[in-house]
Chains A and B, each alone.
Chain A
Amino acid sequence: MTFFGLHFQDLVFYTLAIILLMAGLRVITTRNPVYAALYLVLAFFTAAGIWLLLEAEFLAITLVLVYVGAVMVLFLFVVMMLDINLDRLREGFWKALPIALPVGGLMAVEMVMIVGVRNFGVDKVAAPAKHPAGYSNTAELGRVLYTDYLLAFELASVVLLVAIVAAIALTLRERRESKSMDPAKQVLVKKADRLRIVKMKAEVEKIVVSDTDAAADVKESK
């Protein structure tokens, strides 16, 4: 099946690649951070499509589920809640441009020269072998993850643990002024804890009428 002289697979690839590049470009050029996050979602989606073409189904689905479904949604929430001053973000853009542009351009040219078809073409790097039908990506990944990469897998979980510890240590604040109650303490309370009985002599209240007050009363009544 060919369209405009292209195989269907190639056509899908080029379509996805163009969308991916455009979306990636818009992530950094768009003015509104919410739009930027949405473009990033688009970029992830199209990247997942390209991975599907490469027969990396598990990774493609994980990318959509984890990055699009969880990470970017959280990210959007944060972006919307933050009061971002766009003008301050753009400060210094024109000042940094004369240096940033040549450096960035130089790096881009170097990378294109090296990571191009010349070094990574099909004649240099063989295309991956086709897998037989019924080949399970997920099972293979699982097998490798728990055998060859066991150490890295376990250590990655330690890194996540450190991230949790760090996040809690840096943000948890025990508020002394909070008015929460402990039910266990409330039940165990005794009369003596709340009521103090003081023995003292009875006091007799004396009614004293001062002379000046009496004089004032007399004046008013006149």
Chain B
Amino acid sequence: MENIRYDLITALPEIIVLGMAMFILLADLFLKPSNRIALYALAQLTLLIAAYFTFTTHSPGVGYAFTGAFVDDAMSDVLKLMIYAGTALIFIYSRHYLQVRNMFRGEFYALVLFSMLGMMIMVSGQSMLTLYIGLELLSLSLYALVALDRENARATEAAMKYFVLGALASGMLLYGMSMIYGMTGSLNISDIHHALMNAPQPTRELYSVLILGLVFIVAGLAFKLGAVPFQMWVPDVYEGSPTAITMLISSVPKLAAFAFVIRLLAQSLQTLAIDWQSMLLIMAVLSIVIGNVTAIAQTNLKRMLAYSTISHVGFVLLGLMSASMNGYISAMFYIASYVLMSLAGFGVILLLSRKGFEAEKLDDLKGLNQRSPWIAFLMLIVMFSMAGVPPTLGFYAKFTVLQAALQAGFVWVVVFAVLMAVIGAYYYLRVIKLMYFDEPEDKQPIEAPIDMRVALSANALGLLLLGLMPQSLMTFCGYAIIRSLS
């Protein structure tokens, strides 16, 4: 009985999110369409309560629950708090956009909360089964969210592509997991680690099966992260989805994917680090090249940001590839900064959109400075941060990742990544040129609620502020990784 109580308290934030998601689904039935704003308030309240319990039940130690299938450690708590914050921003940014597009429904909030539950499970999963179910929960909610705007044929097509390729990736991941399970006899992350550590000099046969499993797992992970050569779905899905959903797909799930990679590769398969290091290295380099070079040719802002995501994922992989504490910390720092940048970037797109008009072309940003100098300034910070111009957060993120890779001895890779980052700066700076030096084509006034303007300003200025004082975020990431992995 005591055991069950401990399990329930450990998973309290998850239970609250699940309960509130179902409550929102039911409450939607009894609300008049004009009162639906209450659902928005409930969703935000859920995040607050979950954050409160995650924060108060936090302990620096590592606690296992549900017979070792669930873990509560520093990394899971820090990542969960980041996920709540990101989701809260998504709710704020997307409210107006959804209201004018007839998508402001209970299902949106319920599905976003369900997807967030999936992320929380991924972050806290300590068995391959739990991790996989968390991933499926996240993916399934996202497929539905992409297609939520039913009248939109492009969104339906994007959802279809996302669904088919996501299912393929899940299949690969499962196949790889089954190989690892077959060789170690356990699904539990720490048990697999111990089984591999204590294996008496792995025979060639055992080794070859493990590598086969590893290849499939890495391929599945790369699909979900959107790393080259598994990136084909990213631009299409980003472009086709309603912008509010694109913002969701491109931001917080990446935090969960990061935890997923850490749990699978760094915690359970650490003994095979030599092998996955080379796989990640190839994918990182290819992602940085293809992401940055292809982004130059884009005229669609959302598509450009999709390719920019691919290159950012490449940098995260570069950090993970170092397979050292510093590498993991830098990768976590990078992914957290990326989420902030991505939220602010898509936030600006949402701000410029209005009923019946999507500000998704690069030309829609022309002369933004004349229409609204403040928003242009915010976008300037975001673009500088994505390009990695000091003193923004993006610069420091790239810097730490490259430093970790340098320490691991990958000098040429670092030189190459810096060159590619310089090439990538071109398309970010082009956006700034369009905003400041071109005449506006679209002279409609910008309509956006005040809370969104305030949140967006805080988000973008945060990029600048954290760039000047990166120690605060760095301390969090260091605390999370060192407490959980050593």
A-to-B contact residues, CB < 8 Å: 110-111, 113-115, 118-120, 124-125, 147-152, 155-156, 158-159, 161-163, 165-166, 169-170
Task: State the main secondary structure of chain B at its contact with A.
Answer: helix
Report how many residues on chain B are interfacial, defined by Cβ distance under 8 Å: 36
Give 4 nearest A-B pairs by CB, closest first: A166-B144, A151-B66, A169-B107, A119-B205
Q: Which single residue of chain A is at the shortest CB-CB distance from B141?
A: A162
Residue ID in chain B nearest A113 by CB atoms: B208
Shortest Cβ distance from residue B297 to the other chain A in the assembled complex, whole angstroms: 25
> B143 touching A150 by the CB < 8 A rule?
no
Residue of A nearest to B108 (CB): A169
Distance of A124 Cα from B105 Cα, bound (Å): 56
A122 to B130, CA, bound (A): 30
CB of A162 within 8 A of CB of B137, answer yes
Residue of B nearest to A151 (CB): B66
In the assembled complex, the Cα of A163 lies from the Cα of B141 at a distance in Å of: 8
The answer for the CA separation of A124 and B208 in the assembled complex, in Å, is 14
Q: Is the CB of B141 within 8 A of A166?
A: yes
Contact, CB under 8 Å: B208 / A159 = no
How far is the CB of A59 from the nearest CB of chain B, in Å?
Answer: 16
Q: Which residues of B contact A118 (CB under 8 A)?
A: 205
Beyond the given A152-B129, A170-B147, could you list 10 further A-B residue pairs with CB under 8 A, ordered by the A residue number? A149-B69, A150-B67, A151-B11, A151-B66, A155-B121, A155-B134, A162-B114, A162-B144, A166-B141, A169-B111
Choose from B137, B141, B205 the contact partner of A155 (Cβ within 8 Å): B137
Contact pattern, B 381-407, Cβ under 8 Å of A = 1, otherwise 0: 000000000000000000000000000
16 interchain pairs, CB-CB under 8 A: A114-B208, A118-B205, A119-B205, A147-B67, A150-B66, A152-B69, A155-B133, A159-B136, A162-B137, A165-B114, A166-B140, A169-B105, A169-B107, A169-B111, A170-B144, A170-B150
Q: How many pairs of A and B residues are in contact by the CB < 8 Å rule?
A: 77
Shortest CB distance B350–A (Å):
21
Majority DSSP secondary structure for residues of A touching B: helix
> Which of A124, A125, A158, A159: most chain B CB closer than 10 A?
A158
Q: Does B18 contact A (CB under 8 A)?
A: yes
Interface 0/1 of B101-117, CB less than 8 Å to A: 00001010011001001
Chain A residues with CB under 8 Å of B133's CB are 152, 155-156, 159
B 311-342 binary contact with A (CB < 8 Å = 1; else 0)? 00000000000000000000000000000000
> With contacts A124-B205, A165-B110 known, is A151 near B70, CB below 8 A?
yes
Chain A hits for B38, CB < 8 A: none
